[in-house]
């Protein structure tokens, strides 16, 4: 046994986990900008988790697949517009590029929003009618996750003659080539990064206003706070639930466009899963059920993940995210801003 102890001591003495604060310091601003870019994508996906949780107390585990479908929606729209995959970025001129991106955005939103509502109809509504316990919902969501992934993996290529789906990632269609626009503290910021961060913030702002300042938003908040009373007061719970899934899906579709701008070759059937877990972590980090929490959590997680990679090494990326999730859940399960959709207001 002594040999084990000896070997063990040797291995442990040899640092297996690197620790390099210098790497973080050197690339701090570049990492921050990258982190914010990914963080805003996480944030948009996280809104979907948080709204559904706020209204239904349900972790919509299949939301990551809605995001994945959104990527295929964006890609499919570009194909319909006549773009063919190629190695280079297209040069369509500024107005046309914006137009095409806008159409792709709408395409992604329609696919993702539609499938989110469809998922709610097919999978969750029958369960709700039966008053099933929350574990049943979660297992259904896992099943739906499998179904959607495998649909894109095997069935979609057959339906589209191999143009969409399948084992390999989609061959990228690049509409925009990243170009450095300006630099802060030695870190350059590209056009795509600005576009993603700005658009995500704008969408987040719209969503926030929609929830907090419109009739529909009031309905959502009312159901989140007290479903029974809300129903008594004439709010249609079913409609609110549908609207919630729709908003989550639409934002996931937008996130899908931004993600494909940043990572054009990331469109693959398995591409939603890890991102979904990260986005969920972001929602929990900020306080699940809390809209602004989801945004804050997303940005925070995106940045922390990159800092963590710089300090510990790139292979620890997912570990950083998961450990963060576990720590938050253990010490502050309500997240940074606390969990409540009903009370989150301006």
Q: Give the footprint of another protein on residues 136-175 (CB under 8 A).
A: 136, 138-140, 142-147, 149-151, 154-155, 167-169, 171-175
Q: Rounded to the nearest whole angstrom, what is the least distance from the CB of residue 43 to another protein in the complex? A: 15
Q: Rounded to the nearest whole angstrom, what is the least distance from the CB of residue 268 to another protein in the complex? A: 8
Looking at residues 216 to 255 of the shown chain, list those that interact with another protein (rule: CB under 8 A): 216
Looking at residues 57 to 86 of the shown chain, list those that interact with another protein (rule: CB under 8 A): 58-59, 81-86
User: Cβ closer to another protein: 232 or 346?
Assistant: 346
DSSP per residue over 185-216, as a string? TTEEEEHHHHHHHHHHHHHHHHHHHHHHHSHH
Looking at residues 6 to 35 of the shown chain, list those that interact with another protein (rule: CB under 8 A): 7-8, 10-11, 14, 16-17, 23, 26-27, 30-31, 34-35
Taking the C-alpha atoms of residue 37 and residue 298, their distance in angstroms, rounded to an integer, is 10
Q: Rounded to the nearest whole angstrom, what is the least distance from the CB of residue 67 to another protein in the complex? A: 13
User: Cβ closer to another protein: 229 or 322?
Assistant: 322
| Type and span of the H or E element at 184 | strand 180-184
User: Cβ closer to another protein: 98 or 114?
Assistant: 98
Virtual torsion, Cα 118, 119, 122, 128, nearest 10 deg: -120
By CB under 8 A, is residue 97 in contact with another protein?
yes
Please say whether the beta carbons of 34 and 244 come within 8 A.
no
By CB under 8 A, is residue 188 in contact with another protein?
yes
Looking at residues 256 to 275 of the shown chain, list those that interact with another protein (rule: CB under 8 A): 261-266, 268, 270-271, 273-274
For residue 212 the two structure tokens come to: 């907090």
Please say whether the beta carbons of 72 and 34 come within 8 A.
no
Print burial letters for 206-244: b (CB count within 10 Å at least 16), e (below 16): ebbeebbeeeebbbbbbbbeebeebeeeebebeebbbbb
User: Cβ closer to another protein: 229 or 327?
Assistant: 327
Q: Rounded to the nearest whole angstrom, what is the least distance from the CB of residue 233 to another protein in the complex? A: 19
Looking at residues 298 to 327 of the shown chain, list those that interact with another protein (rule: CB under 8 A): 306, 309-310, 313-319, 322-323, 325-326
Print burial letters for 29-62: b (CB count within 10 Å at least 16), e (below 16): ebbbbbbbbbbbbbbbbbbbbbbbbbbbebbbbb
Please say whether the beta carbons of 289 and 224 come within 8 A.
yes
Figure out which of the listed residues 44, 45, 51, 176 binds another protein, where binding follows CB under 8 A: 176
Q: Rounded to the nearest whole angstrom, what is the least distance from the CB of residue 63 to another protein in the complex? A: 13
For residue 334 the two structure tokens come to: 């309500």
User: Cβ closer to another protein: 238 or 322?
Assistant: 322
Q: Rounded to the nearest whole angstrom, what is the least distance from the CB of residue 205 to another protein in the complex? A: 7
Taking the C-alpha atoms of residue 194 and residue 258, their distance in angstroms, rounded to an integer, is 11
User: Cβ closer to another protein: 10 or 232?
Assistant: 10
């Amino acid at each position: 046994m002594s040999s084990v102890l000896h070997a063990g001591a040797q291995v442990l003495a040899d640092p297996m986990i690197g620790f390099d604060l210098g790497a973080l310091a050197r690339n701090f601003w570049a990492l921050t900008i990258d982190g914010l870019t990914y963080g805003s994508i996480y944030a948009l996906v996280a809104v979907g988790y948080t709204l559904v949780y706020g209204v239904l107390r349900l972790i919509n585990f299949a939301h990551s697949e809605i995001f994945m479908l959104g990527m295929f929606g964006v890609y499919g729209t570009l194909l319909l517009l006549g773009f063919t995959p190629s190695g280079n970025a297209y040069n369509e001129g500024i107005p046309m590029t914006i137009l095409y991106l806008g159409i792709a955005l709408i395409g992604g939103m329609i696919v993702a929003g539609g499938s989110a509502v469809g998922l709610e109809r097919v999978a969750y509504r029958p369960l709700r009618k039966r008053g099933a316990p929350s574990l049943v919902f979660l297992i259904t969501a896992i099943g739906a996750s499998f179904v959607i992934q495998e649909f894109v993996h095997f069935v979609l290529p057959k339906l589209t003659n191999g143009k969409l789906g399948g084992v390999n990632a989609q061959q990228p269609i690049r509409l925009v080539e990243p170009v450095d626009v300006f630099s802060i503290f030695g870190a350059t910021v590209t056009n795509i990064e600005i576009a993603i961060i700005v658009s995500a913030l704008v969408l987040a702002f719209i969503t926030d206003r929609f929830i907090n300042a419109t009739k529909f938003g009031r309905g959502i908040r009312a159901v989140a706070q007290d479903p029974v009373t809300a129903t008594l007061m004439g709010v249609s719970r079913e409609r609110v639930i549908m609207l919630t899934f729709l908003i989550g899906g639409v934002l996931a579709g937008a996130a899908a466009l931004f993600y494909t701008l940043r990572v054009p070759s990331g469109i693959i059937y398995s591409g939603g899963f890890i991102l979904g877990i990260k986005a969920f972590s972001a929602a929990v980090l900020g306080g699940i059920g809390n809209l602004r929490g989801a945004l804050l959590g997303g940005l925070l997680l995106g940045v922390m993940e990159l800092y963590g990679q710089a300090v510990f090494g790139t292979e620890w990326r997912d570990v950083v995210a998961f450990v963060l999730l576990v720590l938050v859940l253990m010490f502050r399960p309500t997240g940074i801003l606390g969990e409540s959709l009903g009370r989150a207001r301006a």
